[in-house]
Structure 1
């Protein structure tokens, strides 16, 4: 199913979210996560604290929250049906990571959704987010919730209506394993300060987890 173009109100909402999140990340990196308050973020973004909470209910959301889960699930559902579940999920992750870091052979293939998938700030913001997560216990704990949210969105998009219980179980397993490979690749990439090719790292992680199915 093709998503309708965003309305003016939706675009304004997205721009406000991006502004708030960008200012939050700037402050977290300059002052430290624990030392920065939501009021500090609101002041930097020139909005009220209530506006910040409307878009990001918790402080952790300022680092980890995004609105791409539904788009990613749609892209997985639209992949060729002859691919296995792990190929559909894993290859979509590889394409989207390529977009997030701003290049690679997958960018042209996914050009139609580029504007909706690129993370504000691209590679630099992604690297900053990962380093904050690795250094902050509260964010590491919250990351598990984010992974669960991604898995649930994928499962709900592919399990059918009425849900096929066996397929649903397979989807939870496949999405969980792909998310684990993605997390391992992201953390390795961040530990090496963003120097390696992230898409290649993810392909390697998927190949380790699913021998014979990747690339």
Structure 2
């Protein structure tokens, strides 16, 4: 794969996206080799062949190198591109195939390791809850655009919260089993939501 997920089209933007991806790739490798707590920003910067000040232009903290999810824009764009007759939940489910195309080979392995680290490292696990809260706004925007309703509509935000809940449950379950295919678990979770969460 020659480009980053959701990579912008302008030359400057592409260079920035590649630098951000390289910093994240080196950070994840170092976390895997020597542990999250033992790895410093200086070490990550040195591995990425940039200065610490350049590092901070891309990531405000070390934890952000793990929490940054480059696939969010890809997922939202793919869901928005689904046929208009699909409900927001069905459109979200249909994006799993798009994500499967993006998450292949080394890129897929890196994303799997990133997710495992997020849910296994206590400091990161706490921080990711804020990211899930941001996800409600992201998904409310998706639902609003697909339905023509307001982003702050009660049912739109309720739907977004339910999606975030099932995604969080899916990721927590997948992190406990390194051999599991996260996308399969995610698809099952959204399918369960689509069916009305029957028990």
Shorter-chain TM-score above 0.5: yes
Hey, what does 1:150 align to over in structure 2?
A: 135
TM-superposed CA distance for 1:165, in Å, is 4.1
Matched, 1:26 2:15: no
Q: Residue 82 of structure 1: SS of its match in structure 2?
A: coil
RMSD (Å), alpha carbons:
2.8
Matched, 1:102 2:104: yes
Aligned pair count reads 190
Residue of 68, 81, 97 corresponding to 1:78:
81
Hey, what does 2:173 align to over in structure 1?
A: 188
Matched, 1:168 2:153: yes
Counterparts in 2 of 1:137 and 1:167: CA distance versus 1, 3 Å: same
TM-score calculated relative to the size of structure 1: 0.75
Q: State the distance in 1 between where 2:98 and 2:175 align.
A: 17
TM-superposed CA distance for 1:100, in Å, is 4.4
Q: Residue 23 of structure 1: SS of its match in structure 2?
A: helix
Counterparts in 2 of 1:187 and 1:18: CA distance versus 1, 3 Å: same
TM-score calculated relative to the size of structure 2: 0.80
The one-character-per-residue Cα deviations of 1:24-80 (angstroms, maximum 9, x if unpaired) are 011111111111111111111110111111101111110011344334323322222
TM-superposed CA distance for 1:17, in Å, is 0.7
TM-superposed CA distance for 1:144, in Å, is 1.6
Contact 2:149 2:156 in 1 (8 A): no
**Structure 2: stretches of 5+ with no match in the other structure:** 1-5
**Structure 1: stretches of 5+ with no match in the other structure:** 104-120
